[in-house]
Homo-oligomer: A and B are copies of this chain.
Amino acid sequence: MVGNIEPRKRGRQSRAKATEDAIVEAVARFLEEVGLEPLTTNKIAERAGVSIGSLYQYFPNKEAILVALIRRERSLLLADVAMIADSGASPQEKIERLIGAGIKHQFARPRLALALEYVEQTVNLGEEAQDLERRLSEAVSGIVSLQFPDADSHAPRDVVAMAQALINSSAMAGETDLQALRSRITKAVYGYLG
């Protein structure tokens, strides 16, 4: 998997944007329902209700579609996190909301989140997605250091990794009690940071 990654048509028309979205969403559903390995461009096109030729008019290759999906998911999460960071809430309140945002995001489509976690390591993310990643991690760092200014430098990364792992394992085990999950994560995070 190498090569160009940028979408081919910058959404000039809303129709084009709709098709692009349909393709990305088709991949999301496929990853949720089937998995990464059986994902083929022909199946993506079929699910998106688009011909294979159209698909390649919007994306230069399979990898680029996955990157677009990652970008979409990261943007959604970043929007929530940024809003939390910019809110007037107390540091502690911000951390709690951050945990909530993580749960909401990963629990919405747990199998998708899991699949993308692997894809992110495999794929060349490209400028834009890497930038999202960076901004996300900066936002988290900012929030953590408000409440725990003396925390270990690894703390933000550790906290994110832990929370992700707990949410994943919970979601995969089929849990549904999000309040219980939230309180376990909170305990772990404060235990680690405090």
Complex contact A194–B192 (CB within 8 A): no
Contacts of A184 in B (CB 8 A): 152, 154, 158, 192
- Are A161 and B152 closer than 8 Å at their CB atoms? no
Q: Which residue of chain B lies nearest to A181 when distances are taken between CB atoms in the complex?
A: B154
**CB distance A165 to B173 under 8 Å?**
no
What separation, in Å, do the CA atoms of A140 and B170 have in the docked complex? Answer: 17
Given contacts A184-B154, A192-B184, contact A169 B161 (CB under 8 A): yes
Interface residues on chain A, size class:
20 to 34
A117 to chain B, nearest CB (A): 9
Bound Cα distance A76, B35 (Å): 29
How far, in angstroms, from A194 to B192 measured CA to CA in the complex? 11
**Cα A175 to Cα B157 with chains together (Å):** 12
A118 (CB) vs chain B CBs: closest residue: B118
Produce 1/0 per residue, A17-51, CB < 8 A to B: 00000000000000000011100000000000000
B residues in contact with A192, CB < 8 Å: 184, 187-188, 191-192
Q: Give the complex CA separation of A13 and B128 in angstroms.
A: 43
CB distance from A168 to the nearest CB of B (A): 7
Q: How far is the CA of A168 from the CA of B168 in the complex (A)?
A: 15
| Min distance, Cβ A107 to any Cβ of chain B, angstroms | 15
Contact of A162 among B114, B162, B175 (CB under 8 A): B162
> Which residues of chain A (56-100) have a CB below 8 Å from chain B?
none
Q: Given A154-B184, A157-B173 in contact, is the A122-B37 Cβ separation under 8 Å?
A: yes
- A139-172: CB near B (< 8 Å → 1, else 0) gives 0000000000000101001100110111011100
Residues of chain B contacted by A14 (CB below 8 angstroms): none
A8→B131 CA distance, assembly (Å): 42
Pairwise interchain contact B157-A169, C-beta atoms closer than 8 A = yes
Contacts of A122 in B (CB 8 A): 35-37
